Amino acid sequence: MDQNDLRVVITVVSFIAFLAIVIWAFSRKSKPDFDVASRIPFETLDQAKQDEAREASQK
């Protein structure tokens, strides 16, 4: 096995890993988890605004 064979093996393994990630990302079982994760920034922002309002009202 020379260096080019190793490069081919690494390329094929990387491509298979890429396909596995794409299939996982677009699978229907992952959608509910991604929906929850997509709301996290907004919930964090809302929480930060509530904290600021609470601090302002305490002063």
Query: What digits encode the pLDDT tens for the residues 21-41?
Result: 999 999 999 899 899 888 888
Q: What is the reported pLDDT for 16?
A: 98
Q: What is the reported pLDDT for 10?
A: 97
Does the pLDDT value for residue 5 go beyond 90? yes
Q: What is the reported pLDDT for 37?
A: 87
b/e for 18-42, b at 16 or more Cβ within 10 A? eeeeeeeeeeeeeeeeeeeeeeeee
45 phi and psi angles, rounded to 5 deg: -65, -45
Number of domains in the chain: 1
Nearest to residue 47, comparing CAs of 59, 37, 55?
A: 55
What residues make up the domain containing 46? 3-58
Q: How far is CA 26 from CA 1, 33, 41, 42, 45, in A?
A: 37, 12, 21, 23, 27
Q: What is the reported pLDDT for 51?
A: 73
- With bands split at pLDDT 50, 70 and 90, how would you rate the model's confidence at 52? confident
